[in-house]
Structure 1
């Protein structure tokens, strides 16, 4: 993909950014509803995907921002695709070996990001699925004291997803919440207790109920994004340094 370089100027609302491209102020869609205030600072270098749709209100979509000498991916929905592709390619050892892979699995009134299972045949040659595994993906861009933190803004939806995994786990399913660190300098993970104590507490409850937590990070390049096949450590406890954001 051919990205266009820009300079971030302002974010009038969570969906729109004002960016300077070749000396002209343009509007860009921000595909990330998080605050990203430590990333989207005035005069930050950003990389934009041009739109071919003449009816769109924004000429670009803001995909990357440069921070701490690396590219940070702000395309939050892409996290699901990155994790799904890595599972299919066998790059996530904890989720290796499933023969059936599905995105956006409907469960009750909700949709789980990724559904995994094993296909087997019965005595009549009919196939059925066994050993179900539900995976909910969260993209992480906030870095605090060298740790990746989620969320960067309160998320009732995130807590709802965790409660759904808890219920699925109680019914005997394997359940995983997968944190993909989209800021390459993050080397470990901790929930963001200061910004969202409810989510952080619910994550602890989910873990206690047997919901697994996986943390990986990705390598961001303009030529493409790939998951680094190495799981990272996490700590669910509240840190004394919560609320101090790296410059």
Structure 2
């Protein structure tokens, strides 16, 4: 996926989870942060960030903050909308007969429903931006919604669906994601239950450019 009208800036502060203060073109500007997660280990005063100019000229904020430079790692894409977009592109090349985003199942909307030769599939997508010692961790904040989605996948697997949970690793080098049990132990427990039930856990490592995010074929853990 591609971004347009890119600018480099310097991160100054994050007054709330929706906006940040940055220095761009020698002036301070308020920008929209495309991630409501904490991102505390990324959004540090003085770090380089990447902005994308919004298409809507009437918007209150002119730019979206889409990526952050992390020392020793490189650019980390923090756009929370990017994982689903890039997975939809990936699924288009996986020989499915039918792909439907935002599929209503149980009490949830699962990110993707697919069919192949009569087999029904469900795939939930999570973006990972938290890294420690070369390993990705999810979530970076408690996510009851994430736990609920995993339980829905377990139920669907028991009903005959082929189910998967895909972690889109929005940073270079990292090849796997583990549950961040210190932040949300219930997510870790649900993830282990899912594995035991036969839900496939898929890692999709990405190459991050200033104006793009691309799945790195050498860092795909499994086909689906």
Length-normalised TM-score, structure 2: 0.91
**1:57 match: secondary structure:** coil
What is the deviation of 1:231? 4.6
1:88-237 → structure 2 map (5 Å cutoff): 88-89=92-93, 96-118=94-116, 130-231=118-219
**1:139 match: secondary structure:** strand
**1: CA distance, partners of 2:178 / 2:107:** 29
Is 1:84 the counterpart of 2:88? The answer is: yes
Q: Deviations for 1:155-185, whole angstroms, at most 9, x for unmatched residues?
A: 1111111111111111111110001110213
- Does structure 2 conserve the Cα–Cα contact (< 8 Å) formed by 1:189 and 1:233? no
- Does structure 1 conserve the Cα–Cα contact (< 8 Å) formed by 2:206 and 2:219? no
CA RMSD of aligned residues (A): 1.7
Structure 1 residues 87 and 54, CA gap change in structure 2 (3 angstroms): closer
Is 1:66 the counterpart of 2:69? The answer is: yes
Segment of structure 1 superposing worse, 99-108 or 39-48: 99-108
What is the deviation of 1:225? 1.5
Length-normalised TM-score, structure 1: 0.83
Structure 1: segments with no counterpart, 5+ residues? 90-95, 120-129, 235-247
What is the deviation of 1:223? 3.8
Structure 1 residues 226 and 233, CA gap change in structure 2 (3 angstroms): closer
Figure out how many residues of one structure are paired with residues of the other and give that number: 218
What is the deviation of 1:59? 1.6
What is the deviation of 1:233? 6.1
- Does structure 1 conserve the Cα–Cα contact (< 8 Å) formed by 2:128 and 2:177? no
**1: CA distance, partners of 2:216 / 2:10:** 28
What is the deviation of 1:55? 3.1
**2: CA distance, partners of 1:6 / 1:16:** 14
Aligned structure 1 segments of 4 or more residues deviating by more than 3 angstroms: 230-234
Structure 2: segments with no counterpart, 5+ residues? none
Whichever of the two has the greater Rg, that structure is: 1
Q: Deviations for 1:25-45, whole angstroms, at most 9, x for unmatched residues?
A: 111111111111111100111
